[in-house]
Amino acid sequence: MYKIPKEEEVRKALYAVLKKYGYVSSLKKLRDEMAKELKKMDSSYRLSMRRARIIAARSGFVRVEVKKGKGKMEGKNCPVCGNKMKPIRSISLLGEKVVLGYKCGLCGYSGKMDEMPVKYEFHLTR
Ligand SMILES: [Zn+2]
């Protein structure tokens, strides 16, 4: 049986990992290291990459650096923190409203329609 750790426990694991390394250079490494910390609390705990990323982005003690590459923006939820993003609009030369991309009001991520994060870095801020 897999168990889902509580948010508080995930935050503790996140802090322990970043305290140890200072920063972590990929989402996969962050998740793997956090999963190790969580296993010390309960060996049946499992953590998804998505949840690790969202909790890190919203923790208040982690700065997420995002490297963007070509891709297609999927949905309107922030690919960093999961918050709903706002469209960045512009008026074209023909007077039409166009959406250039999306911006997140929570973590500050913004991306054009043809951009997606390709790499995440996580830094401890305090
Ligand atoms: Zn965000």
CB atoms near residue 70 (< 10 Å): 9
How far, in Å, is the centroid of ligand 1 from the Cα of 94?
A: 32
Across the beta sheet with 115-124, the strand order is 23-24, 115-124, 62-70
How far, in Å, is the centroid of ligand 1 from the Cα of 83?
A: 5
21 alpha-carbon distance from chain centroid: 18
How far, in Å, is the centroid of ligand 1 from the Cα of 53?
A: 10
How far, in Å, is the centroid of ligand 1 from the Cα of 2?
A: 28
How far, in Å, is the centroid of ligand 1 from the Cα of 68?
A: 14
Query: What pTM was computed for the model?
Result: 0.89
Q: Over the range 22-37, which residues count as b (16 or more CB within 10 Å of their CB) and which as e?
A: eebeebeebbebbbeb
Which sequence spans correspond to the domains of the chain? Answer: 7-124
How far, in Å, is the centroid of ligand 1 from the Cα of 54?
A: 8
How far, in Å, is the centroid of ligand 1 from the Cα of 86?
A: 10
pLDDT in tens, 14-66: 999 999 999 999 999 999 999 999 999 999 999 999 999 999 999 999 999 99
**Per-residue pLDDT at 76 exceeds 90:** no
